[in-house]
Structure 1
Amino acid sequence: MRPPAQGDLLFDRELADLSRELRWREWMGRVEAAIFASQTPVPRENLSLLVGETCRLDELIADIQHELADRPYELAFVAGGWRHRTRPRFADAIRASGAAGGEGALKALSQTEHLVVTAIAYLQPVTRRDLSRLIGKEISRDIFARLKRLGLIGAGPRSPAPGAPLTYVTTKLFLEIFGLGSLRDLPDIEALEEAGLLARRAEQEEQPAIGEEFDRVLGIIPDDEQEEGEAPPHAGGQDSDDDRL
């Protein structure tokens, strides 16, 4: 938690002069205003700076959510913090207005790119070679470069495998765009664990049907044909230190 700034010394968090009901309403207003004004999800520790020591923040947020029940937007826990988010049933109206915001990056993804970023989310940190073997076809470096430009993935730690190949991880922006509080909110993660797809080893045995199983669990079918405009697949074996963007 950040140290208090000079102006914070004059900020009355406790509101002891107000009645219990008015104090609660004022705390609700402060929390919602801070979330509304922020362009990124607001962490719990930041919101706790706006209310008194005895305030139960979870109950306060629940009351705000209840009041927003009839509105086209809601408070959602995304990427480690709270933010205003429009309800899914208004997605078509938002797209029609041209105000899709972060959804534009998701809409721009090809089927293969969507599959790759989803696989990275579940298996990170993961190498390009492991992803190619999992999905059942070579994944072009251009796909990773594009996902990085969109801010959905980044470089992870070097793999302990021979040659120390580069690994990939998802970003906080990925969580925001996909509306996830954390990676534990990914759908069907238990099914992937049961399928053995999250228990990877540095040296994996060949599993011919693993790509089909992964598609089945996620409900995504990768493209059979190479994406239009995609660079030819890398014709090599194992990743090396040059496997970087």
Structure 2
Amino acid sequence: MARRRRATTGLDTELAELPAELRWREWMARVEAVLFAAPGPVDRELLARVVGRTCSIELVIEDIREALRERPYELVAVAGGWQLRTRPRHAEAIHAAFGSEPAPVQLSETEMLVLASIAYHQPVTRGALGEMIGKAVSRDVIAALRAGDFIGPGPRSPQPGAPYTYVTTAGFLSHFGLDTLRDLPDIEALEDAGLLDTVQLRAGGFPLPGDDEDDLGPENGEDEEGD
């Protein structure tokens, strides 16, 4: 009896009995259903649970995107997976319907500067971050970024005392709509868009990617505890 129950509840991912066209449609429907129900980005491993070994997840994703071309939501690559998101042009209608706009995550100027430093220079210790921006980075700033799921602990530094390093998280990628860290905008693009003043950053002691100041040397008195 137990054997029959396992057989009837197991999901047939191969769908070998279906014609090729119907099998493909079913795989598309399953993937879209999982994406619709998921609270966040869905990675390849999870999607592989509902489609067969011969199914190309990338091609399924492409076909779903094409099918949603005229819909008010789209399928985007984010945080190493995929997620259904409403299109930005419908934001005003959504806000009008629900009466209020979701409160954005508020980061201070210092927190944004530290987060940018980690994003472009990770893994990096708190002491190195202080040298980059020209002042000590408090544990409160690190704690705030960790509480917001923007950063997490990285590998221990090989420096004396083996201080903690910090790296960005999948939450960071999701919040900023990035698939991987390779999608981080380059400094020139940010400057051209008026979103970054490199002169001001350099004046404040923040070394930009590719600057000679990236080699910061050993840290003195580092006492990271990973908090």
TM-score range, shorter chain: 0.7 to 0.9
8 Å Cα contact 1:165-1:239 kept in structure 2: no
Bigger relative CO (Cα 8 Å, ≥ 6 apart)? 1
Partner residue in 2 for 1:69? 69
Per the alignment, do residues 118 and 94 of structure 1 end up closer, same or farther by CA in structure 2, a change over 3 Å counting? farther
State the shift of 1:73 in Å.
1.7
Partner residue in 1 for 2:177? 179
8 Å Cα contact 1:128-1:239 kept in structure 2: no
Partner residue in 1 for 2:111? 113
Give me the whole-angstrom Cα distance separating, in 1, the residues matched to 2:138 and 2:6: 52
Report the number of matched residues.
Answer: 202
Per the alignment, do residues 11 and 120 of structure 1 end up closer, same or farther by CA in structure 2, a change over 3 Å counting? same
Residues 15-94 of structure 1 aligned to structure 2 (within 5 Å): 15-94=15-94
Gaps of 5+ in 1: 192-207, 218-236
Partner residue in 2 for 1:214? 208
- Specify the SS of the correspondent of 2:48: helix
State the shift of 1:64 in Å.
0.2
- Specify the SS of the correspondent of 2:149: coil
Per the alignment, do residues 146 and 78 of structure 1 end up closer, same or farther by CA in structure 2, a change over 3 Å counting? same
* Selected match of 1:159 from 135, 146, 157: 157
Partner residue in 1 for 2:138? 140
State the shift of 1:161 in Å.
2.2
State the shift of 1:187 in Å.
1.7
Q: Deviations over 1:155-212 (max 9, x none)?
A: 2222222333332112221122122222222222899xxxxxxxxxxxxxxxx76846
Give me the whole-angstrom Cα distance separating, in 1, the residues matched to 2:147 and 2:22: 47
Per the alignment, do residues 15 and 114 of structure 1 end up closer, same or farther by CA in structure 2, a change over 3 Å counting? same
Give me the whole-angstrom Cα distance separating, in 2, the residues matched to 1:244 and 1:60: 41
Per the alignment, do residues 63 and 189 of structure 1 end up closer, same or farther by CA in structure 2, a change over 3 Å counting? farther
* Selected match of 1:150 from 148, 151, 158: 148
CA RMSD for the aligned pairs?
Answer: 3.3
State the shift of 1:8 in Å.
8.0
Gaps of 5+ in 2: 190-201, 212-218
8 Å Cα contact 1:78-1:182 kept in structure 2: yes
One-letter code of the match for 1:240? E
One-letter code of the match for 1:214? L
State the shift of 1:9 in Å.
6.7
Q: Deviations over 1:23-47 (max 9, x none)?
A: 2111110110011111132221221
Are residue 241 (structure 1) and residue 227 (structure 2) matched? no
Give me the whole-angstrom Cα distance separating, in 2, the residues matched to 1:68 and 1:159: 46
